[in-house]
Structure 1
Amino acid sequence: MTGMEEYNSSSESSFNSEEVDTIVKECIEGVVGVDDYSQGQVNKWTASIVERCLTLLVKQGKAYKYIVTCSVMQKTGAGLHTANSCYWDTAMDGSCTVRWENRTMYCVQGATKCHRVHAASLQLDL
C-alpha cells in the first residue's frame, strides 16, 4: 500500500478523499510530530489521533457517520498486513486509508464515511 487508497464514487455526496487525507495527516503530525517511537506513548497517540480526526470530520457538518481506525507500529523490518471489507452503497459511502511514516514508526489510519439514512426514508422488504 502506498500513500492513500480510496474506494468511493464521484457523486457530489461522495467522500472527498483528498480532504480527508489532509485532515488525517494533520492529525497524525499534530499528535506524533517528530517524536521517535515509544511503546509507552502508543495508546495515547492512537486515541488522540482518532479523536482529533473524528472531531474535524464531524465539524464539516456533513450528513455522514464516520468510522476511524489507527495503527502505530515501530519500524523494525517486520511486515504489517491489514484488510477490511464492507457492504455498502458505493454511490453514497466511501473510505480512504492513509499511510504516514517517520524514521522510527509507521502509522496507518483508515477513515470510512457512511451516509446517514433517516428511518422515514427506509423501506425494508422482509
Structure 2
Amino acid sequence: MESISQSKGVKYDAKSVSKILENAIEQTIGSQTFDYKAVNGWIENIVEKCLSEMKEIYPGFKHIVTCVIMGKNGSGLHSSSSVFWDNYSDDSCTTRWESKTMNVIVTNYALSV
C-alpha cells in the first residue's frame, strides 16, 4: 500500500515541508559562522518556527521536530532514526543544511491524529 500521509483531508507534502524546515534554518542562522554559545538559541528558534508553521499548515497531525547543529571540525556526523507507525497516515521529512562552518539536520515527524 502506498503512503499518502493524509489526516483530516490534508496531505503531508515532503517537498513543502522541506522548504519550511530550510526556511527556518535560513531565517535563524543565515550567513552566521558557527558559535557554540549561540547553538542552543538557534536550535530553540528553528524548532519553534518549524512547529508553529507545521501546526498551521498541517493541523491534523501531531508534530515532532528535532534539530542537530554541529560545527565543522573534521569529525563525521552520523544520524539515524526508526519508527513504528501507520505508513498510510504518518510521515516524516529530514532536511540537511550546511555552511562553511557547520552542518544542520532538522527532522519533522508528522503523526496523524
TM-score (norm 1): 0.82
- Alpha-carbon RMSD across the aligned residues, in angstroms, is 1.5
- Structure 1: where are the runs of 5+ without partners? 1-7, 117-126
Q: SS at the partner of 1:72? A: strand
Report what 2:21 is aligned to: 24
Q: CA deviation at 1:15?
A: 2.3
Report what 1:9 is aligned to: 3
Identical pairs, percent:
36
Which letter maps to 2:101? Answer: T
The one-character-per-residue Cα deviations of 1:44-92 (angstroms, maximum 9, x if unpaired) are 0001000000000011153000000000000111011111111100000
Q: Which runs of 4+ in 1 moved over 2 A?
A: 10-15
Pick one of 49, 52, 57 that aligns with 2:49: 52
Which letter maps to 2:4? Answer: S
Q: How many residues align?
A: 109
Report what 1:37 is aligned to: 34
Pick one of 65, 68, 89 that aligns with 2:65: 68
Q: SS at the partner of 1:40? A: coil
TM-score (norm 2): 0.91
Q: CA deviation at 1:99?
A: 0.3
Report what 1:119 is aligned to: none
Query: 2:54 and 2:102 mapped to 1: Cα distance?
Result: 25
Is residue 89–residue 112 contact of structure 2 (8 Å, CA) maintained in 1? Answer: yes
Q: SS at the partner of 1:34? A: coil
Q: Given the superposition, is the C-alpha separation of residues 58 and 11 from structure 1 closer, same or farther in structure 2, using an over 3 Å criterion?
A: closer
Query: 1:52 and 1:81 mapped to 2: Cα distance?
Result: 24
Report what 1:96 is aligned to: 93
Larger radius of gyration: 1
Query: 1:15 and 1:85 mapped to 2: Cα distance?
Result: 19
Report what 2:79 is aligned to: 82
